[in-house]
Structure 1
Amino acid sequence: MDLGLWIQILLGLGNRFGNLFIFAFVLTKIKAFRRIVAKEKLSTEDKLILSVVFGIFGIVGTYFSFEYNGALINTRIIGVASGGLLGGPLVGVLSGLIAGVHRGLINAGNVTSTACAVSTIFEGLMAGCMGLYVRNKRVKWPYAMLTGAIAESMRKIALLLMIKPFSVALDLVIDILVPMVIINSLGLGLFFMILEAIFKDRERAVARQSDLSLKIADRALPYLKNGIDSDEFGKVARIVYDMTDFDAVTLTDREKIISHEGIGTPRHAVGAPVVTFLTERVLTTGECVVMGRCEEKDCGFHGKCMLKSTLTLPLNDGNDIVGTLKLYKITEGSITEVDTALGNGLAKLISTELRIAKLEGRSKLVTQAEVKALQAQINPHFLFNSLTVIGSLCRTEPLKARDLIFSLSSFFRKNLNGNRQNVPVWEELDHVRSYVEIERARLKDKLDVMYEVDESLDFIIPSLTLQPLVENAIKHGIYPKKEKGQVKLVAEKREESYFISISDNGVGMKSENLKILQKGESSGTESMGFGNVIKRLEGYFGPNFSFDVSSKMDNGTVIELRIPAGKGVAL
């Protein structure tokens, strides 16, 4: 063991080490390389690219070497092993093949050329297998150092097996093994430290931008609820401009500029038409587009506008692209990967809110349509029969006839007024009473209706929800009954809920119809509007609303509603 010789070899490799790491540092600054390495899954094309890159990296390590006793003291394994660790066995073998064939073809270090060429391929395979093992580990540099030590040991074993005479090979291995293991292990470890530092910085930057996206979304949420056509939507551009480093922010719909904040030209004025091919492209393809310098040759301000770099992103409402978000910087080529990640996050958040606004708008339209449908279910026979009863009472009981006219008027006014979706519970109960008075006059002594209502109740409830349930009780429970029937309505507060019960002692219903009602659905003629009513109550009061239906043939039916206190606040 010659310690002085080891130090000499270490210093010789160290002098070339700096050149190698200049190459490695430049490599990590290439965006395409960073994108490929950052992927969790690599395509075959990606692996071929990595194989060529790290094969060249290995060749560079061969050239940054010096000769000693017929051998090249080199750092070739740093490139080959890096390829295997990052890309797996295929990349390791191919990069080893590229660097190994090159080593076998050059004239320098002829004594070890064949052994080193063959060994390099197997070293790449070993590094690739190690890469599979460390793929999901966040800290890889210790494994990289271990890989370097194993690879150098494999090469020295190849020298002992393939160089003759053996004594020459043994002397050579004793002289160079330790310094080459040290320098290449350190080299691989340092290279992976650089990679990990780069990706950690990138992850931190993306995390900061994601946090910023959420903060922007939180401030912008009130202005997104009514969709892209609302007057307040344009305020989102101001929020994005104030909270980011972009020099200008624009929001457009498919035809015009909705809002522009920051540096601009008259072409960026609010209401100006969308004329750039870049915006048209994004609206057509739905792809995010980065433009490093202005290429709008037909623009009247080409060459005069200070906005040089643009990130244009599509905004969609779930089905259609409805507009764009445009982010500008005044320096050419200054849109970074982090800027793109932030822009994509903002566009997705805005698009999500636009989608929610669209769905809520559709939900309101559906609810209005359902109320209209419920209003349209008024049986004309009910009107004719009511007028007949009133007509017969005009001579015998004119005061009673007058009261019924008032009740009928109130009933139809309520049914035909579709402007109010939600009303105070006492208003809904008044509507029930108007309906009941008309039915009492028609059925006379056959119908008895009892009310147990807490008059202090004061909460909001969807309109036309209680009257259809009472009508079902009378129409399907009491009408078919030969004897006198009774309907009872109870409304009171129980602990943290409002309790409403509608029961009758009528004919009841069949079990198959009962099962349908217990699911919150309508069973045809057995339950006019029941499913509609339950769906609207669930939609308004949310998951804490519940109901129950029980019935037995010839023993009547009971419907119970449990409404969470606090949702339907008093007017």
Structure 2
Amino acid sequence: MSGIALAAAGAVAAVLLTVGFVLGRITARRGRGPADAGLGSPVERATFHTLHTASLAAPPLRAGLTGETAARAVGRLRPLLGTEALCLTDRAEVLAWDGPGGAHHRDRVAGLVAETLASGRSRSVHTDHADCPDDSCPLRWAVVAPLTGEDGVLGALVAYGSRESAVLVRAATEVARWVSVQLELAELDRSRTRIVEAEIRALRAQISPHFIFNSLAAIASFVRTDPERARELLLEFADFTRYSFRRHGEFARLADELRSIEQYLALAGARFGDRLKVTLRIAPEVLTVALPFLCLQPLVENAVKHGLEDSAGGCRIVIAAHDAGAEAVVTIEDDGVGMDPEELRALLRGERPASSGIGLSNVDERLRQVYGPEHGLVIETGPGAGMKVTVRLPKYRPGVHPAV
């Protein structure tokens, strides 16, 4: 991601240097009118105009290169270049055209871009009378620049002008690079979404058949002796599975995650009875904080496993969440058998079989991806000393919000 970010910064800087220079010259020639007073120098105004126009073109391109996104972006891109016409293509056809001349030039674009699609290099060409029989048409010269992505050349940007211009060649090439960066970021967004979906599927798979079987067996045991308790547990089981297997939203509210955890613990309590004791200490002001979906439940499941399933005695689990300024801090602590720190480090590095800790390693990796490496799990443990897991959640992070 850092390489792409640097490429994006470089492309934007190049666009500003090239296009800002062109617009600055035009603005300087026109002079400063009364409406422009107090808005800075011509170059400063041109730079602002370029940044604003680029910001309007970026969102549709971040959705990929399609007819719809190209149509929304091309009208924003043409002012960056100041050309008579501009079109965007994929490898097969023209996706969008902005400006005059489309009626008789559009059908000839495929021939213009064929060499660029094959070589991946920009080129400039004259459109002679055979290509454009309309003597009044201003489109007499074109710059064809490739649009690239992870899979190579995806299409082309074609900028039309009335005369040959070395500055336009450079500007069109740099704008095409900027567009290419947006398309690469779109692909990264899609890849990230696929990765997140795979990680959530892995966490769902960890909700083991044994847990489902044991939960249903525990519910069944109350059907004759305590029908009302069986009914309540069955509703908890239905809500828990419905939430865990929902199909939308990468993030959830802390309140929703805690509610799911309560349902999980109610089902575990039906199985283990008085051996499992749970304490919740939740500050109301952090309940609306967003966090990755199914982020806490695997940590609680790990506490139950190491506190009860691997121990002959009972276990107390304490789940706490408190306000820490810009962050919400969640801790999950048990007094179970604990773990050797070296074994834990190997598990988090992925050096242990997935069945030994897919939950901990998965949650740790997701937290680092969303919030940065400094927000991974903090785990305190030792043989016979129980385990305490701390999660630090920034209250506000761009792009992190629960599904509506």
Q: Same fold (TM over 0.5)?
A: yes
Pair 1:205–1:495, CA change in 2 (3 A): closer
Mapped pair 1:227 → 2:64? yes
Question: What displacement does 1:511 show?
Answer: 2.6
Match of 1:446 in 2: 275
- Kept in 2, the 8 Å contact 1:520–1:534? The answer is no
Q: Give the secondary structure class of the aligned counterpart of 2:387.
A: strand
| Cα distance in 2 between the residues matched to 1:366 and 1:493 | 30
**What is the CA–CA distance in structure 2 between the aligned matches of 1:376 and 1:519, rounded to whole Å?**
20
Q: Is 1:461–2:298 an aligned residue pair?
A: no
Instruction: Tell me the residue number matched to 2:340.
Output: 510
The residue that corresponds to 1:247 in the other structure is 84
Paired amino acid for 2:204:
Q
Matching residue's letter, 2:71: G
Structure 1 residues 253-302: Cα deviation after superposition (integer angstroms, max 9, x where no partner): 12222221222142456xxx67532211111211111113438x5x5x44
User: Matched residue pairs, number?
Assistant: 359
On the 8 A contact 1:315/1:322 being kept in 2, the answer is yes
- Equivalent position to 1:277, from 95, 111, 115: 111
Secondary structure (helix, strand or coil) at the match of 2:66 reads coil
User: Could you tell me which residue of structure 1 aligns to residue 311 of structure 2?
Assistant: 481
Q: 1:446 to 1:528 in 2, by over 3 A?
A: farther
Partner Cα distance (2:396, 2:108) in 1? 47
Point out where structure 1 has 5 or more consecutive residues left out of the alignment.
1-203
The corresponding residue for 2:125 is 291
Higher helix share: 1
Of 535-544 and 428-437, more deviation after overlay is shown by 535-544
2-structure distance, mates of 1:407, 1:206: 61
Is the 8 Å Cα contact of residues 19 and 50 (structure 2) preserved in structure 1? no
Separation (CA, whole Å) in 1 of partners of 2:188 and 2:337: 42
Q: Is the 8 A contact 1:544 1:563 kept in 2?
A: no
Kindly indicate whether residue 230 of structure 2 is the aligned counterpart of residue 401 of structure 1. Answer: yes
Amino acid at match of 1:323: G
1:510-562 C-alpha deviation (Å, 9 max, x unpaired): 23222235669876333232222122223333456343111110110110011
Check the 8 A contact 1:206/1:341 in 2, yes or no: no
Secondary structure, counterpart of 1:232 in structure 2? helix
> Is 1:548 the equivalent of 2:378?
yes
Counterpart residue number, 2:144: 312
Partner residue, 1:424: 253
Give 2:4's aligned residue: none
Q: 1:492·1:500 contact (CA, 8 Å) conserved in 2?
A: yes
Q: 1:523 to 1:230 in 2, by over 3 A?
A: farther
Distance 1:205 1:362 in 2: 32
**What is the match of residue 377 of structure 1?**
206
Q: Are the structure 2 counterparts of residues 224 and 415 from structure 1 closer, same or farther at C-alpha, using a change threshold of 3 Å?
A: same
Name the aligned partner's letter for residue 228 of structure 1.
L
Shift in CA distance, 496/303, structure 1 to aligned 2, threshold 3 Å: closer
- Judged with a 3 Å threshold, the aligned counterparts in structure 2 of structure 1 residues 525 and 339 are, in CA distance, closer, same or farther, namely same
**1:490-528 Cα deviation digits (max 9, x unpaired):** 011122210000011111112322223566987633323
Distance (Å, rounded) in 1 between the aligned partners of 2:329 and 2:67: 39
Superposed, which structure 2 residues align to 1:21-100 within 5 Å? none
Say yes or no: does 1:538 pair with 2:368: yes
Question: What is the aligned partner in structure 2 of residue 498 from structure 1?
Answer: 328
Q: Of 208, 211, 219, which residue of structure 1 is paired with 2:21?
A: 208
| Structure 1 residue 342 displacement after superposition | 0.7
TM-score, with structure 2 as normaliser = 0.81
**1:260, 1:268 within 8 Å by CA — same for their partners in 2?**
no
Q: Which has the higher contact order (CA 8 A, sep 6+)?
A: 2
Higher gyration radius (CA): 1
Alpha-carbon distance in 2 for matches of 1:345, 1:542: 31
After superposition, what is the alpha-carbon deviation per residue over 1:181-209, rounded to whole angstroms, capped at 9, x for unaligned? xxxxxxxxxxxxxxxxxxxxxxx978715
Q: Distance in 2 between matches of 1:293 and 1:268?
A: 9
- Return the offset for 1:230: 6.5
CA distance in structure 2 between the aligned counterparts of 1:530 and 1:420, rounded to whole angstroms: 21
1:502/1:386 Cα in 2 relative to 1: closer, same or farther (>3 Å)? same
- Residues in 1 aligned to 2:153 and 2:354: alpha-carbon distance in whole angstroms: 41
Q: Tell me by how many angstroms 1:214 deviates.
A: 5.4
Structure 1 CA distance for aligned equivalents of residues 393 and 291 of structure 2: 9
Identity of counterpart residues, as a percentage? 28
Q: 1:276, 1:524 → 2: CA distance? A: 51
How large is the Cα RMSD of the aligned pairs? 2.6
The correspondence for 1:360, drawn from 175, 189, 203, is 189
Q: CA offsets per residue over residues 362-382 of structure 1, 9 Å max, x none?
A: 111111121122112221121
Task: Spell out, residue by residue over 1:286-324, the C-alpha distance to the aligned partner (whole angstroms, 9 max, x if none).
Answer: 1111113438x5x5x446554111111110123321111
1:386 to 1:348, Cα distance in 2 relative to 1, 3 A: same
Question: 1:10-45 CA deviation, whole Å, 9 max, x = no partner?
Answer: xxxxxxxxxxxxxxxxxxxxxxxxxxxxxxxxxxxx
**8 A Cα contact 2:127 2:140, kept in partner:** yes
Q: Is the 8 A contact 2:53 2:79 kept in 1?
A: no
| Counterpart in the other structure of 1:472 | 302
Native 8 Å contact 2:67 2:96 kept in 1: no
- Provide the residue aligned with 1:237 in structure 2: 74
Give TM-score, length-normalised by structure 1.
Answer: 0.59
Q: Given residue 417 of structure 1, which amino acid in structure 2 is its aligned partner?
A: R
Counterpart of 1:477 in structure 2: which amino acid? Answer: G
Map of 1:190 onto structure 2: none
Between the aligned partners of 1:209 and 1:510, the Cα distance in structure 2 is: 65
Q: Unaligned stretches of 5+ in structure 2?
A: 1-16, 24-46
Indicate if the aligned counterparts of 1:520 and 1:535 stay in contact, CA closer than 8 A.
Answer: no
Deviations 1:405-448 (A, max 9, x none): 11111111112212222111111101001110111111112111
Aligned equivalents of 2:115 and 2:50: distance in 1?
A: 25
